[in-house]
Structure 1
Amino acid sequence: MIRQTPHINRWLVPLSGGHDSRIIVNTLYKLGIRNVVCYTYGTKGNEQSVLSKQVAEALGFEWHFVEYSEQKWDQLHREGVLDNYLHFAFNGVSTPHLQDIPAVYELIHQGVIKNGDVFVPGHSLDLLAGCWLESGDLIDMGKPGALQRATQKWVGIKEPEFVPLNAIEKVFNSADISPLHFQEYFNWQEFRAKFVVNSIRGYEFFGFESRLPYWDKELVDFWLAIAPQDKIGRKVLFDAEKKGILVHALTGIPYAGKTPEKSIVKTLLRRLLPERIKNIMLRISGYKVRMNEGLNQIYAMKAHTVKEMLEPLEDFPRHARPYLQKFIDRQPGQVNYNHLTAMYTVRKHMDLWKN
């Protein structure tokens, strides 16, 4: 990556409190590279940003924080920036990744990001190292079992008659791999390529290049050579961190992202309560999805309800309507932002096709 980019101005690293981006800045530092600018974003004082700052300061790298708010997202909507980006990044197949857009937009206007800078996000060490692998993925249940497990893990539609099983089977048939490896393949082919890695379109949208060092073939081949059972829970990666791949200045800084214990009562209520009752409770409480990055704010001022954002619902394919029905009476900030972005993007493109 370094050799292929000899005339770079600076490396821009979206630095979170997690493992992947930390290893990026750690490696740049160990290579003697100091023209590095780190940035992070989200709600003020969030855990990710606090740890990001500690890491950047420990290495002596420039660091910036962009606070997200409903008003900033609304401004990008009103200026047409988000709709233009959705069109740019969708291409009829991908879910646009909005997470970085306000930060990059603001840092460009502040003069922090300059011509010749190149972005280096930490995608997708978590996948390669085994973060998404579960013991159930390593049980060879044949093709039917592999398709069923992929459906359970990745499809939000629960009504059997509307599950896109034929589309998932088409992915399987084109893969030419063992059912034992299908879960990782499906993650790579569908989630990584069409959402996570598609996030670099956000940098391209503003005219900048990016690099994905974790997708270097030599590194991918290394992880493929490790037995899947040894990667569950990212065991190899975490052992390497403990054994010294991090510079001394970073060894005492904790990581973000430990999942809090879920309330048994809340879990049962989510499973047992009818959607209509859940929607009424959400409207009364005003509860919003809480995220370090403030992504529940993206559409918060766009409309009062999801239905208002997406109507007329009759335009959506018949098999998608039961999925939409669960959310239409909720406020936008009460729905997973990735799901809402996918639905809103389809809505905007249906409007374009009409015209």
Structure 2
Amino acid sequence: MAAPPGRADNVRVSGTDSTGAGSTAPEILLASPGWASQGGTHLWRPLRGQGPIPSDLPATAPASRAGQWTLIERDGEDLRLTTDRPRSHHLLFTRLDGRWIVSDDPRFLHERLPAGTWHRDRGAAEAFLHLGFTPGTSTLISGVHATPAASTTLLRADGAWKSRTWEEYRFAPSPISDGEEYAEAFTGAMDAAVSRLLDAVGERQLVVPLSGGLDSRLLAAWLTRLGAGRIATFTYGKADARETAISRQVAGALGLPWFSVGLDPAEIAGAWAGRDGARFRASTWGATSLPHPQDWYALERMRREGLVDGDAVFLPGHTIVGNMHDESLLSASPTRARVLSVIASHHAILQGRPRVHRRLEELRAAVLGAARELGVGAELAPRDAQRLIEWFNLRERQAKYINNSMKGYEAFGYDWALPMLDRELWDVWLRGSEGLTATRQWYAGFTTRVYAEATGRETALFAPAPARLPALPKRAILAGLRATRGDRALSRYRSVRTMLDHPMAFEAFSEPIPRLEQVSRMVLGASTLGLWTRLFLDGRWGPGLVPAD
């Protein structure tokens, strides 16, 4: 794998506001090639060739800024760090010798901080083990903080700092409840966001990771609808993966070029343990998030074999839709305490410990912080419960695990964009009624209709194939079902089989853990991601990035 832009061994440092020894001016160390700088202002965008910083940017409210961006501004002797809604490119900050150090790469901070000061944050690490990310502004490094989603963080010259959200995440007081009217509004939002993207990328190749689900299908259909010129679609997986077949069908129906990257678990495991895997992990964890290995080997093959253009723009279907869970809460007026407990327990699941959320102080503080940001009271109306659940999901898991996966494209030198998380889609989502947005039912119908209009036909959605049980284990399990609550055991059995032999070969990244130990942990409730968080924290994925306790 070629050293990508922004790596420590091919470094680009811009915007260093240091004025020499003894200075208290902030030191800004930026690695990504996406930065543009002008005076004391630094603007990051994921698409190359977008020109200098717009002259009217300081006067533009964050909520009205389109696309993905991160902004650093001098405010007298203070420093203001503003992130977009998806937290596209978070910043790290710490205090050293009376001044602030800000960077977009933890390797810079590690090099800059004195020996003996790079310590693990134990509370954040415990939360990370169960979540896959560090909640709030915490990181895995003690004394180092991270900018959150849709927020402005003010670093004062005297050492004080505060972070406040600029996004209210508030549903419209008179929401749209008619499905056809909402479809018209959603269509307008998609047209605006995707058209602006097409204007920005020009003739560059657009690459859509095409799964068998709704989101990438809708985005691919919309690109076709608007006449995008150069589109490639792909999927990856084992030779017999059902998702691969559905992805091929979708691309064929839309008349789009498609290719598949076959995955062999043994090859992946060997590569992941080598130098390329270590480089990828170092450039994508950001001190807050589990590296996202799911796409890594496919991207490595694409780059090595020239399967896409060197300046291609990747367009994953990450979306504002579908961040609600526990919809049954909306049938009553739950207390705030009940909703907060449901949120915490929903996210702290990776190790299969149902009550562990009660002792994760970092998670508790982040959930309470989200409630304060939205100003919800002790008794919640159904829409307030929906707001709180979706907002926490968006600002935490979506931002720090799903959206942070964009660093994988950057690690290989590719650009990317998230049109289905852009301003217009965010705004139209908040205009929909509870009946249209609390589940994915309306969205599924909308996507099916758009796809059918674009292709003249429908095709199946991807769903994991049911596991076929060998005869003897099947008889034993069925016998247990008669005497116990065996439905859960059967479900767990199927889940463990899938995790141990995943269509996307995810088991390759769990290989440092012996197979029998994997099985025992999974039977007790751990997920694949739970195995990965433990491996990452223990340094068993390679040279440790997180300091030892």
The interval holding the TM-score normalised by the smaller chain is 0.7 to 0.9
Where does residue 318 of structure 1 map in the other structure? none
Where does residue 462 of structure 2 map in the other structure? 256
SS at match of 1:123: coil
Alignment of 1:227-246 (within 5 A): 227-244=433-450, 246=452
SS at match of 1:100: helix
Q: Deviations over 1:139-192 (max 9, x none)?
A: 432321121111231112334563445334443345334351211111111110
Go from structure 1 to structure 2 and tell me whether the alpha carbon gap of 1:271 and 1:62 turns closer, same or farther (over 3 Å shift).
closer
SS at match of 1:65: strand
* Deviation of 1:126 (Å): 4.0
Go from structure 1 to structure 2 and tell me whether the alpha carbon gap of 1:228 and 1:125 turns closer, same or farther (over 3 Å shift).
same
**In 2: Cα distance, 1:137 partner to 1:84 partner:** 45
Where does residue 74 of structure 1 map in the other structure? 269
Where does residue 210 of structure 1 map in the other structure? 416
Which deviates the most, 113-122 or 150-159?
150-159
Question: What is the root-mean-square deviation of aligned Cα atoms in Å?
Answer: 3.6
**In 2: Cα distance, 1:91 partner to 1:175 partner:** 25
Q: Deviations over 1:51-96 (max 9, x none)?
A: 1101112222211111122212223223222232222222222222
Go from structure 1 to structure 2 and tell me whether the alpha carbon gap of 1:51 and 1:220 turns closer, same or farther (over 3 Å shift).
same
**In 2: Cα distance, 1:150 partner to 1:22 partner:** 29
* Deviation of 1:350 (Å): 5.7
Alignment of 1:9-28 (within 5 A): 9-28=204-223
SS at match of 2:200: coil
Q: Is the 8 A contact 1:133 1:231 kept in 2?
A: no
Where does residue 153 of structure 1 map in the other structure? 346
**In 1: Cα distance, 2:319 partner to 2:225 partner:** 21
* Deviation of 1:354 (Å): 4.9
Runs of 5+ unmatched residues, structure 1: 308-326
Q: Deviations over 1:262-306 (max 9, x none)?
A: 999679458689xxxx9xx99xx9985343322122223x34259
Go from structure 1 to structure 2 and tell me whether the alpha carbon gap of 1:65 and 1:150 turns closer, same or farther (over 3 Å shift).
same
Q: Is the 8 A contact 1:42 1:68 kept in 2?
A: yes
Go from structure 1 to structure 2 and tell me whether the alpha carbon gap of 1:152 and 1:353 turns closer, same or farther (over 3 Å shift).
closer
Q: Is the 8 A contact 1:68 1:294 kept in 2?
A: yes
Where does residue 338 of structure 1 map in the other structure? 529
Q: Please tell me whether Structure 1 or Structure 2 has the larger radius of gyration of its CA atoms.
A: 2
**In 2: Cα distance, 1:166 partner to 1:241 partner:** 36
Alignment of 1:75-224 (within 5 A): 75-127=270-322, 132=325, 134-137=327-330, 139-156=332-349, 157-159=353-355, 162-164=359-361, 166-178=364-376, 180=385, 181-224=387-430
Q: Deviations over 1:90-148 (max 9, x none)?
A: 222222221111111101111112221000000025426x6x46232564323211211
* Deviation of 1:212 (Å): 0.3
> TM-score normalized by structure 1?
0.78
**In 2: Cα distance, 1:125 partner to 1:351 partner:** 31
**In 2: Cα distance, 1:137 partner to 1:350 partner:** 44
**In 2: Cα distance, 1:269 partner to 1:252 partner:** 37
Go from structure 1 to structure 2 and tell me whether the alpha carbon gap of 1:168 and 1:52 turns closer, same or farther (over 3 Å shift).
same
Q: Is the 8 A contact 1:306 1:331 kept in 2?
A: no
More strand by share: 2
**AA paired with 2:547?**
W
**In 1: Cα distance, 2:206 partner to 2:545 partner:** 39
**In 2: Cα distance, 1:72 partner to 1:116 partner:** 27
Runs of 5+ unmatched residues, structure 2: 1-195, 377-383, 469-476
**In 2: Cα distance, 1:47 partner to 1:142 partner:** 43
Go from structure 1 to structure 2 and tell me whether the alpha carbon gap of 1:202 and 1:68 turns closer, same or farther (over 3 Å shift).
same
Q: Is the 8 A contact 2:233 2:258 kept in 1?
A: yes
Q: Is the 8 A contact 1:55 1:250 kept in 2?
A: no
Where does residue 304 of structure 1 map in the other structure? 514
Q: Is the 8 A contact 1:20 1:125 kept in 2?
A: no
Q: Is the 8 A contact 1:96 1:342 kept in 2?
A: no
Q: Which protein, 1 or 2, shows the higher relative CO under an 8 Å CA cutoff with sep ≥ 6?
A: 1
* Deviation of 1:8 (Å): 4.5
**In 1: Cα distance, 2:218 partner to 2:497 partner:** 39
* Deviation of 1:227 (Å): 1.4
More helix by share: 1
* Deviation of 1:24 (Å): 0.9
**In 2: Cα distance, 1:261 partner to 1:345 partner:** 29
